[in-house]
């Protein structure tokens, strides 16, 4: 980024958007499958799509362990999609929807940047088509029905202290992490952020409406006094929840600044949830396009691991190619430089940070893929610093491309697109990390030792008890979804680079029987974020003509 | 309703809807002001409307004190609109949006019934265009910023115990009425339902975007340790809140089964809030149509009083005609029959219930209007029972029409439409109940003695302290918005008919400086409802093709 370049908001505002019906027609979406939401957004009724040809190939974009500012993974995903489209590939992009929590907290908007953005930026970042709100509603209806059931006599015999199902809101609200209900059941509980909710995971993993309904009905809310699980189905809540999610379950179509179609749908966080856009969007994109470029959140230890071990198996959408986004900035941080020193040239620090990238490369190879490293170039990066990464890749037989999609759009991603296109000619053999019948303890051990590079797992006493209960209910072969800091391979955000000699401490194991996985909470990672001392919200405004400021 | 008639859901499903662009074009909404949300709903960008001619006349539909099942006031409003349109009047309907809380609780959908419905029923009742969710988000962002401010050092010196601003959700969730935050400020608070929130009131009373922003900034969240009010503006939250409400502030256009355009926008409850659809929708409808039929919730003691004393003055939209909906059922209940006896013929009980209707008629006259009584006919009503009401009206010089819009649509409202059309030829002189400079205690006295028929007001000690504080801050001339049971003129839901010899007990006075009114909580009315023993949610479902069941 050089300082003379126009800023992201100006670029988005200056973009000439096509009517969404035109984008849809070009993408092969028939008119009667399109439900417009404003002029430039639409939902797709997948029941009205044609049969389609062979499923398109998936390109999974993940990354090295990020800095707090983010490495531009969404930007690279969008730019790569634009570049593949420009090279003549029938391409669709599949991204997660932004959560309002981070928008008003630290991060601002989450729709890419520069000349690699999905638009309309303002709407996508602000409610979009209200999917998160529908998820919040469905989640909180179930929560209300749980306490209401207890209030009206508790016919099912629910033990209030055993209730694991929490309310959610799409806001960073630290004060709601732990609350005591002083009406009704008078119990301790708390709110999670919507992006961490099981309903979000269910919506993102369900193949179709019957599967969505079945998964909602299977959500465990707590246990009876005799230790039996109580589900949403037991409370007759599944139908109403599915009704609330009817429209939210339909993928959202938007476009990039370059006019490439993008499905932006579902938004679990990658550090506290499974981190991938919805399976129905990915698979819809595969019906419509030859190449689908999708992103899995944060570093490959979180997003890619969950894409490959959870989503790809649940929704039968293994990738054909994997991209790892790296930045000179992040390498310098992993090489020992402080966050406020990352703009200063320091090739030695870049080199010192390479072990972090190397471990991510090794991990991707373990799943059966030869990754492409995309070095997302920032304005302060020097030729010499970039050469350090290129040399590392050459020496290790890793494809590498420096991308400048932020400043140059599709042109800045042309080389990356060529590498990816070459990989799409090959037929990788996808190897999940653990077999489907692995016990959750074995799974955790495999992920920590193989992907994270640690020595093993230790369980807090409460987690150990939860593990026993999980086994007693026969849930131990569900895949594990690890909630962990994104900054380190370990559960300690301060251990940068490629740490070794650590164990990961599991403090809680929460069965999510609707989503079909078991959440393992590690370290101090929180399922409800807080706002910073000066929230981004303070600088935001809307003008009388509806234009917004402060989203970037 | 006779049992052979098709049910509401079947009628709605069988309706042949016009594309919303066609409805808009017929209503005079230019294409570039229309933002479609699906095929049959759209938002209107009022900045893109033409200047329009003279403002249309407002017909305010209110009613007698209702039974728990409701008297079909929305149904009559829709049927009257259809009948006026059928008679050649350029008509638009303005209704509130349904809240999800009652939809899943007792009430089911809230879009009229029979052949007098706004459609698409399923969507309008389920999230609609997500306005309620945007209000929830804006409200809860401010709440999070309050506790976050305290967490990060409390520079403004907010006294945590003084915080009056609560979080909200659009769900009936009894367990959230009183909660203790065990993170951050560790204070007692609670959730209200979104329909009761000040942000809802602000959105419904604001004239335009600058007014919306100014009102949001003026919301008082609590007080400093030295007793000074702390506002959303002090926390720099107003801009972000307005940004979250940018699209929610645009009125929503739908149609009736008969094709009459309807703006469905904003949804404060009438028992715990001010009970009217948004001022911007009412005034937009007046720019587009000659006659605007709008509803004010529950009985005229709640909805009409607030329309006339609060909304009409805040948004300069006094009605030209007032309709009071009555039913034989409700009259029998006020005449002493139990809720399960209302289907049995009993002309004497109808007569015994007339004092309730008579007091509502007198009240409307006090505001300067000669009301039309619309007797909404139910299938069990006999000719003799209906004659009791007609005779009462004839003897008291009150226009009266029996309506059958539920079963016969516009035809069933033709006589009512003729009465209303006759009133529209006259020029009533609107007289608010109290002058703008009346003190809140005087206002309360006037409403209780004149409208409710009681002896006066008593204040709980806490309310008395709040009154002193309101005066200390100079807020005592803001209009009062009374939260009271809808079942009785008094604050005791059991005192039916036209009770006398009672005082109304104000238990809390909450200044809503953004909305510009002071909420007086009376009796045991709750700002967060609960679910019944068998919530309506339990019978709801969605089918694979997207059709929903259980909403009626």
Q: For the segment B272-303, what is each residue's pLDDT rounded down to a tens digit?
A: 999 999 999 999 999 999 999 999 989 999 99
The token pair that represents B527 in the structure block: 């700002």
User: Measuring CA to CA, how many Å separate A211 from each of A202, A203, A275?
Assistant: 9, 9, 20
**What is the reported pLDDT for B183?**
74
Of B365, B389, B424, which one is at a domain's C-terminal end? Answer: B424
Q: Which of B171, B212, B547 to mutate to test the interface with A (most CBs of A within 10 A)?
A: B171
- Give the pLDDT score at A544: 87
Yes or no: say if B349 and B336 are a contact pair by the CB < 8 Å rule: yes
Give the tens place of pLDDT for each residue, B302-341.
Answer: 999 999 999 999 999 999 999 999 999 999 999 999 999 9
Instruction: Identify the pLDDT of residue B406.
Output: 96
Average pLDDT over residues B39-47: 96
- Same domain as A264, residue A219: no
Find the domain containing A506 and state its range: 440-522
Boundary (domain end) residue, out of B201, B218, B245: B245
- Residues of chain B in contact with residue A544, where contact means CB-CB under 8 angstroms, are 47, 208-210
Q: Which A-chain residues 503-542 have CB contacts (< 8 A) with chain B?
A: 530-533, 535, 537-542
For residue A154, give the chain B residue with the closest CA: B533
CA angle B71, B77, B80 (to 5 degrees): 120
Report pLDDT digits (tens) over A11-69: 888 889 999 999 999 999 999 999 999 999 999 999 999 877 789 999 999 999 999 98
- Parallel/antiparallel/unpaired status of strands B179-181 and A179-181: antiparallel
Q: In angstroms, rounded to a whole number, what is the distance separating the alpha carbons of residues B256 and B264?
A: 11
Q: Is A269 exposed, middle or buried (0-12, 13-18, 19+ CB in 10 A)?
A: buried
Q: Can you tell me the mean pLDDT for B380-404?
A: 98
Check whether the bond before A313 is cis (ω within 30° of 0): no
Q: Supply the pLDDT for residue A1.
A: 39
Query: B180 and B168 share a domain?
Result: yes
Quick one: average pLDDT of A96-110? 85
Same domain, B446 and B344: no
Whether pLDDT at B66 is above 80: yes
Choose one of B362, B389, B424: the last residue of a domain.
Answer: B424
Q: What is the pLDDT of residues B16-31, one digit of tens each?
A: 999 999 999 999 999 9
Where helices occur in B87-173 by DSSP H, the ranges are 100-104, 121-125, 131-151
Pair A68, A147 in one domain: no
Co-location of B289 and B417 in the same domain: yes
* pLDDT over 70 at B5, yes or no: no
Token pair 């967490």 in the structure block, residue: B151
- Predicted confidence (pLDDT) per residue in B72-114, tens digit: 999 999 999 999 999 999 999 999 999 999 999 876 667 999 9
Residue B179 falls inside a structural domain: yes
pLDDT tens, residue by residue, A314-339 = 999 999 999 999 999 999 999 999 99
Q: Prior bond to B120 cis, omega within 30?
A: yes
Q: How far is CA A234 from CA A54, A201, A219, B105, in A?
A: 40, 20, 10, 18
Q: What is the mean pLDDT of chain B?
A: 95
Out of A174, A209, A242, closest to residue B183 by CB:
A174
* Per-residue model confidence as pLDDT tens digits over B119-139: 999 899 999 999 999 999 999
Q: What is the pLDDT of residues A246-278, one digit of tens each?
A: 999 999 999 999 999 999 999 999 889 999 999
Phi-psi region of B154 (alpha: psi -120 to 50; beta: other; left: phi over 0): left
**How much is the pTM?**
0.96
- Residue A109: pLDDT band with limits 50, 70, 90: low
Q: Do A537 and B171 touch (CB under 8 A)?
A: no
Does residue A185 have a pLDDT over 90? no
The reply to whether A434 falls in a domain is no
Give the pLDDT of residue B186.
Answer: 84
- Name B192's bridge partners: B168
Instruction: Please state, as a whole number, how many other Cβ atoms lie within 10 Å of the Cβ of residue A9.
Output: 20
In a domain, B529, yes or no: no
Residues B172 and B306 in one domain: no
> Between helices B414-424 and B73-86, what is the axis angle to 10°?
70
Residues 6+ apart with CB under 8 A from B536: B103, B104, B105, B106, B107, B108, B550
**Would you say A72 is a known binding-site residue?**
yes
Residue partners of A397: CB distance under 8 A and separation at least 6:
A370
* Residue B535 is assigned to a structural domain of this protein: no
Neighbour tally for B141: CB within 10 Å: 30
Domain shared by A233 and A272, yes or no:
no
- How far apart, in whole angstroms, are the C-alpha atoms of residue B488 and residue B65? 6
Interval A117-173: pLDDT, tens: 999 998 999 999 999 999 999 999 999 999 999 999 999 999 999 999 999 999 999
A395 and A286 in a common domain: yes
Domain annotation covers residue A395: yes
For residue B468, the domain's CATH number is: 3.10.410.10
Residues B262 and B408 in one domain: yes
Q: Residue A190 sits in a domain of what CATH number?
A: 3.30.1510.10
Of A265-279, A411-425, B3-17, minimum mean pLDDT range: B3-17
* E-strand stretches of B251-386: 252-256, 261-264, 291-295, 321-326, 372-376
**What is the per-residue pLDDT for B3?**
44
Q: Minimal CA–CA distance to B142: which of B266, B262, B263, B241? A: B241
Q: Which helix (H) or strand (E) holds A193?
A: strand A191-193
- Tell me the count of A-B CB pairs closer than 8 A: 245
Q: How far apart are CA A198 and CA A221, in angstroms?
A: 10
Residues 274-333 of A with CB under 8 A from B: none
**Is A412 inside a domain boundary?**
yes
Q: Are strands B480-483 and B456-459 parallel, antiparallel or unpaired?
A: unpaired
Residue B224 bridge partners (DSSP): B158
Candidate from B140, B148, B550 with C-beta closest to A174:
B148
CB proximity B80 to A under 8 Å? no
Q: Residues B24, B117: one domain?
A: yes
Provide the pLDDT confidence category of residue B12 given band limits of 50, 70 and 90.
Answer: confident
State the total domains in chain B: 3
B408 token code pair: 């016969």
B147 and B68 in a single domain? The answer is no
Q: Where does residue A489 fall: left (phi above 0), alpha (psi -120 to 50 degrees), or beta otherwise?
A: alpha
Q: Are residues B60 and B96 in the same domain?
A: yes
Q: Does B60 touch chain A (CB under 8 A)?
A: no
CB contact under 8 A, A546 and B173: no
Nearest CA-CA distance, residue B39 and chain A, Å: 6
Instruction: Say if A90 falls within a structural domain.
Output: yes
Q: Categorize the per-residue pLDDT at B69 as very low, low, confident or very high, splitting at 50, 70 and 90.
A: confident
Q: Which residue is associated with the tokens 């419904």? A: B204
Is the pLDDT confidence value at B42 over 80? yes
Known binding residues of B: 67-74
CB-CB under 8 Å, B175 with A181: yes
CA atoms of B234 and B213, how far apart (whole Å): 13
**A69 annotated as belonging to a binding site for a ligand:** yes
Domain assignment present for residue B516? The answer is yes
Q: How many CB atoms lie within 10 A of CB B13?
A: 15
Q: Among positive and negative, which fits the CA dihedral A380, A383, A387, A388?
A: negative
> What is the CATH number for B37?
3.40.50.300
pLDDT of A7 reads: 84
| Mean pLDDT to the nearest integer, B28-40 | 95
Best A21, A105, A137, A177 member to test B by mutation, with max B CBs in 10 Å, is: A137
pLDDT of residue A2: 38
């Amino acid at each position: 980024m050089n300082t003379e370049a126009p800023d992201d908001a100006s670029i988005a505002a200056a973009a000439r958007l096509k009517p969404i019906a035109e984008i849809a027609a070009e993408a092969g979406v028939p008119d009667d499958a399109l439900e417009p939401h404003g002029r430039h957004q639409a939902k797709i009724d997948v029941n009205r799509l044609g049969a389609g040809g062979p499923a398109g190939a998936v390109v999974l974009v993940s990354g090295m362990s990020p800095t707090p500012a983010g490495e531009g993974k969404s930007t690279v995903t969008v730019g790569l999609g634009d570049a593949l489209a420009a090279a003549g590939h029938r391409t669709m992009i599949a991204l997660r929807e932004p959560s309002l929590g981070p928008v008003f907290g630290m991060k601002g908007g989450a729709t890419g940047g520069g000349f690699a953005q999905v638009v309309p930026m303002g709407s996508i970042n602000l409610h979009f088509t209200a999917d998160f709100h529908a998820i919040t509603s469905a989640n909180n209806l179930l929560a209300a029905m749980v306490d209401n059931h207890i209030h009206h006599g508790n016919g099912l015999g629910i033990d209030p202290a055993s209730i694991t199902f929490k309310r959610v809101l799409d806001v960073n609200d630290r004060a709601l992490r732990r609350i005591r209900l002083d009406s009704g059941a008078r119990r301790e509980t708390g709110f999670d952020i919507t992006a961490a909710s099981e309903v979000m995971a269910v919506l993102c993993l369900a193949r179709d409406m019957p599967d969505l309904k079945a998964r909602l009905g299977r959500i465990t809310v707590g246990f009876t006094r005799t230790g039996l699980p109580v589900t949403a189905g037991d409370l007759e809540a599944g139908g109403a929840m599915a009704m609330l999610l009817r429209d939210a379950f339909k993928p959202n179509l938007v476009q990039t600044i370059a006019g490439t179609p993008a499905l932006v749908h579902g938004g679990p966080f990658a550090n506290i949830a499974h981190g991938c856009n919805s399976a129905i969007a990915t698979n819809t994109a595969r019906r419509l396009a030859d190449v689908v470029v999708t992103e899995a959140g944060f570093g490959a230890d979180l997003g890619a691991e969950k894409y490959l071990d959870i989503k790809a198996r649940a929704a039968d959408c293994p990738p054909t190619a994997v991209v790892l986004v790296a930045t000179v900035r992040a390498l310098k941080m992993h090489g020992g430089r402080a966050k406020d020193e990352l703009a200063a040239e320091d090739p030695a620090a870049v080199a010192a940070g390479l072990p972090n990238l190397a471990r991510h490369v090794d991990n991707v190879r373990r799943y059966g893929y030869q990754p492409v490293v995309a070095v997302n170039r920032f304005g302060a990066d020097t030729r010499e610093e970039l050469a350090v990464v290129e040399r590392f890749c050459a020496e290790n037989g890793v494809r590498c491309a420096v991308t400048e999609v932020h400043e140059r759009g599709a042109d800045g991603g042309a080389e990356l697109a060529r590498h990816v296109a070459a990989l799409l000619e090959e037929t990788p053999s996808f190897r999940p990390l653990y077999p489907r019948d692995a016990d959750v303890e074995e799974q955790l051990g495999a992920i920590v030792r193989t992907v994270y590079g640690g020595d093993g797992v230790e369980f807090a006493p409460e987690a150990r008890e939860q593990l026993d209960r999980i086994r007693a209910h026969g849930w131990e072969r569900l895949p594990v979804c690890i909630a962990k800091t994104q900054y380190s391979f370990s559960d300690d955000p301060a251990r940068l680079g490629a740490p070794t000699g650590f164990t990961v401490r599991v403090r809680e194991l929460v069965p999510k029987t609707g989503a079909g996985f078991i959440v393992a909470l590690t370290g101090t990672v929180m399922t409800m974020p807080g706002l910073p001392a000066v929230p981004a919200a303070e600088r935001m405004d809307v003008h009388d003509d509806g234009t917004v400021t402060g989203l970037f």
